[in-house]
Structures are given as structure tokens and as C-alpha cells.
Amino acid sequence: MFKVLVADPISELGLQKLYEHPDIQVDIQTGLPEAEIIAIIDQYDALLVRSQTKVTASIIQAGKKLRVIGRAGVGVDNIDVPAATKAGIIVMNAPDGNTISTAELTFAMIMASARKIPQAHQKLKNGTWDRKSFVGVELRNKVLGIIGFGRIGTEVAKRAQAFGMKVMAYDPFMTPEKAEEVGVQAASVNEIVEAADFITVHTPLTKDTKHMISTPQFAKMKRGVRIINCARGGIIDEAALFEAIQNGIVANAALDVYEQEPPTDSPLVGLEQVVVTPHLGASTEEAQINVAIDVAEELVNVLTEQPFKNAVNLPSLPQEVLKSVQPYLELGEKLGLLLAQRIRGRVQSIKCSYAGDLSKISVSPITRTLLKGILSYHYGEEVNYINAPLFAEEQKIQTSEIKSGKHKVFTNLIHVEVTTDEQVYSVAGTLFNGLGPKIVSLDGFTIDANPTGTMLITEHTDTPGIIGQVGTILGTSDINIGSMQVGRKEEGGLAVMVLGIDKPISVELLHLLRNIRGIHSVSEVNL
């Protein structure tokens, strides 16, 4: 008999799968403080929570029988995932449960902004019959720009097409074949900004997407454009949005998420042109039931040793496989994450090559970590270790896994090559006994760098003075350089430099570095 502790209020309908299973006993004890959970958790095989209970390392350590922790929702920030992984406990979530609810809210926001429904509603509620002030626009034949084309973005596109809208979509992994399949026009962010009548964002919040819609983008937009954000606060620069509304560039905005929540100090909330809701993307009865159903089904699958799909950490592997691949799993994910933050253009293929000792073992788990590192940076919680290969397949990205024999230099080597429609990017890493993971090659240049912390990577012409200029700019900005590696193939040719720096740098500083004569590209990578 397996015992499951449900520590937060969760839909009874969602728990039916657990109740119905003859070998599972469900105990519902909500609102327990950490000490009380620690006192009883050693009795349970599984723990199910929402957002209230903080699953700490102490709880995990006390859960001697725990095999799986389930979160009935998308994020797992209330669960100490590294501690669970170290303890061999699977952590899973329900990334698909709120897809439709968020897509429908987005489209409701599009409708509300087009027809000024909330404003008209409030004025009539206040006793004023006013038809002249609320002339809207039709959606038919308007251009909807979707930035971020994962599951939610795709569902929004389907609804827009049903209303006769023309859809342009940007996604770094969307191929022309994928765009044609779903009937949208693949476009760059700049193309969307210039052509769209409505713009909606559906990306995770990363250093690359923070303020991706800001003053330069608003300056290129059509007058009368409408902006929707039901994804993450901070993707749209709220100060720049306020200014764009004041200047008549943006006719209307509809926001469900904010840079600071609740948005008590945001001037946007007081504008008549802005429709606001309090982060309701997943707030439907169906979504609450769906996330509970999804995670309950996954718990049953784990406990009964059936296939499962929504692990946010690596699933359990046979002991002999785990022993051979475990040292390389972190290296694999970091190589993928490094590439994800450097690539430009639409990804066409990902090739994972293994040499030396790695050619003798099962490398499939390492490939999954590589793909997860690359894809999750752009799609967030939608991608995990289980579904990463399928996700790549859905995006029409060709993936391959190649093994070779001994390497002439290293006893083990992982080499990853990503081809986009603009260029080819590559990185290689190895494990040194006693020294841990190392990056030994970047775009074909030999280097020796630790894949950790914040890294600044430049491509530049190998001429005197460039390295000094970079160091001077960083130094005057109070940014310390902890390590430096430079790689070149020939004197005076192209070179790369990898700096380990003590803290992230600003967009303005990146711009300064890119303007140094002889610098071809600069990217900041956080590992």
C-alpha cells in the first residue's frame, strides 16, 4: 500500500485518480507547519502540494520513504528541487493544466481592448449612458503579433484565426515548416512590432526577454496598437508602455501580470486606456481541476512504475545507468543552457556528440539534459527532462546523437552543435578528475573555462588593446573579473574571450562593449 500526503487544498475531482486506486491511501492534512510535516513525512511515499506548503530540505531529508513530490500547478519554486534530486526523489508539476485558461484569458483581453468593454461597463454602472466614447475596432483582418509560440501562444493563434485575424509569430525555435503547419507567418520581433495591430507576449521572463518591448520597440509601432501581457511581468517595460500610451502610440493595453505584484504603485493601473486583472491566467475551475488531475495521474504512474512525463528533475534511472551517467548530467545541462543564451536565429538542428569513455555508456539521459537546457531557457516550465525530445520534434528541430571512439586529447568529451538559420554554434565540455566540469571548446576555439556563475563571452578581431578596453569598461563599472580565457586560431584573426565576472551587467554596459572597435559580438551567460 502506497501512502500519499496531500498537504494543501486541492480539487477533490482532481484527486479521484488517487482515491480510485486500490493500492493507494490518501491522507489530507492541510495547513501543517513544517515541524509537523517533518514529524509524519517518513510514513509517506508521495507528497502532493500546491503553493502554500514549502517543501524544504528538512522535510525532504525526513521523508525516508518519499519517491515523488507533486505540485498541482506549473511553478515549483516552493519545492527545494536540488535537495529532492540529491535524495533521488522525483519532483513533478502540471505544466499543461493552465494552457487553455491562459489562452482564453489572453483572447478575452484582446476582445476587451478592442471593444473597450470594461470601460463601457463601468461607466454604465455609474449611471451614464455613453455610446460615443466607446467606439472600438473589429478583429477581422487585423494583424495579431504573438511573441513566444509555445503551447499557449499556439492556442491563442487558433482563436485569432477563427476571428479572421492574420497571425504573425516569433519564436527562436519555430521553423518555416512549423509556421506553415499552423497557418501563421514566422516573423522577427522587429517585423511584428512594425506590422501588428495587436501584440501579445507568451515567453518566460529571462535576461533576454526582460523589457524586450520597450521604448525602441514602441517607437516603431503603428499608432493605435494594442498590447496584451498575460505571461510574465517585466517582459513589457511598464514605464515605456505608460509613455507610449500618453503619446498616443498605444491605444489600449490589457495586463494580467506586472513587474511588481500587486501593482499598487504602477501608474498604468490608473489609466482609462488600460484593462487590468489580478494575475488570473490559471484561475478557472477547469484549470484548477486539470492541474490536480494531471499531477495525480503522474503520482500514480511513478508509484506503480508506469511511464510518466512531467518530471522537473531527472527521473529515476537503473542504478547501473545512473552510476555511469550521473557525473555528466550537470555538464550536459550547462552546455545546453550556455548555447541557449548565445544562439541567434531560428534553430534548425541540434547535434549531440560523445567521445571517449562516453561512447561506451547509455548517453540518452545526457542528451535529454542538453535538450532541456537549450529549450527550457526559451519555453520555461513547458519543457522538462522527460518531454524535451518530444518538444524538439514538435518544433520540427532535427536532433541527433552520435558516438565516436577514443578522443585524441580527452578521456571523455561532450560536443554540442546547434545550427540556426543564421549560423552554427558549438560548445564542448569534459570532466577532469579532481577539477570537475570544464568548457574546452567554444565555436571551434580552444579554451579552458569553468561553466559556472556569470560569464561574458566576446568574439573579436585579435588585435592589441581590445582585451584592455573590455577590462577598463568593466572596472569603471565596478565589475570584477574572476577568470579570463582567450582562444584564437591565428594571430590577427578571429578570437573568443570568456570572462568569469562577479555579477551580471546591465543592458547599457553590454551596448558599450559591443561598440568597441573590433568586437563582433558580446553575450552574457548565466549558469
Each residue of 20-66: pLDDT tens digit?
999 999 999 999 999 999 999 999 999 999 989 999 999 999 999 99
Looking up cell 493595453 gives 253
Q: Which H or E run includes 177? A: helix 176-182
What pLDDT shows up at residue 327? Answer: 81
Confidence of residue 477 (pLDDT cuts 50, 70, 90): very high
Residue 298 near residue 97, CB atoms below 8 Å? no
What pLDDT shows up at residue 77? Answer: 85
Tell me the whole-structure pTM to 2 decimals. 0.82
Confidence of residue 313 (pLDDT cuts 50, 70, 90): confident
Residue 327 near residue 376, CB atoms below 8 Å? no
Please say if the pLDDT value at position 318 is more than 80. Answer: no
Share of the chain above pLDDT 90, in %: 73
Measured distance between the N- and C-terminal CA atoms of the chain, rounded to whole angstroms: 41
Q: Which H or E run includes 498? A: strand 494-501
Residue 165 near residue 140, CB atoms below 8 Å? yes
What pLDDT shows up at residue 374? Answer: 93
Q: What is the mean pLDDT of residues 268-275?
A: 95
Q: What residues act catalytically?
A: 232, 261, 279
Q: Which residues fall within 8 angstroms of residue 409, CB to CB, at 6 or more apart?
A: none
Which residue would you say has higher pLDDT here, 216 or 309? 216
Q: What is the mean pLDDT of residues 89-102?
A: 90
What pLDDT shows up at residue 306? Answer: 87
110: cell is 484582446
- Whether omega for the bond prior to residue 262 falls within 30 degrees of 0, making it cis, is yes
Please say if the pLDDT value at position 161 is more than 90. Answer: yes
Helices and strands, number each (H, E), in the chain: 17, 22
Please say if the pLDDT value at position 253 is more than 90. Answer: yes
- Which whole-number Å values give the CA distances from 349 to 175, 261, 374, 412, in the listed order? 10, 39, 12, 23
Confidence of residue 75 (pLDDT cuts 50, 70, 90): confident
CA distance 385 to 396: 18
Listed residue (513, 512, 503) closest to 459, CA to CA: 513
CA distance 427 to 420: 14
Going along 175-249, which residue ranges are E strands?
185-186, 198-201, 225-229
Computed from CA positions of residues 372, 211, 82, 334, in that sequence, does the dihedral angle turn out positive or negative? positive
Please say if the pLDDT value at position 210 is more than 70. Answer: yes
CA distance 120 to 282: 26
Confidence of residue 390 (pLDDT cuts 50, 70, 90): confident
Confidence of residue 434 (pLDDT cuts 50, 70, 90): low
Q: What is the mean pLDDT of residues 313-322?
A: 68
Confidence of residue 97 (pLDDT cuts 50, 70, 90): confident
Confidence of residue 143 (pLDDT cuts 50, 70, 90): very high
Lowest average pLDDT, out of 35-44, 318-327, 376-385, 446-455, goes to 318-327
What pLDDT shows up at residue 386? Answer: 81
Q: What is the mean pLDDT of residues 505-515?
A: 91
For the chain, domains (ranges, CATH) are 1-95+282-316 (3.40.50.720), 99-276 (3.40.50.720), 317-450 (3.30.1330.90), 453-527 (3.30.70.260)
Please say if the pLDDT value at position 239 is more than 90. Answer: yes
Q: What is the mean pLDDT of residues 207-223?
A: 95
Q: Report the chain's mean pLDDT, rounded to a whole number.
A: 92
What is the residue type of 451?
A: P
What is the residue type of 481?
A: I
What pLDDT shows up at residue 435? Answer: 72
Looking up cell 528538512 gives 58
CA distance 188 to 172: 9
94: left (phi over 0), alpha (psi -120 to 50) or beta: beta
401: cell is 546523437
What pLDDT shows up at residue 316? Answer: 61
Please say if the pLDDT value at position 250 is more than 70. Answer: yes
What pLDDT shows up at residue 270? Answer: 92
Going along 171-231, which residue ranges are E strands?
185-186, 198-201, 225-229
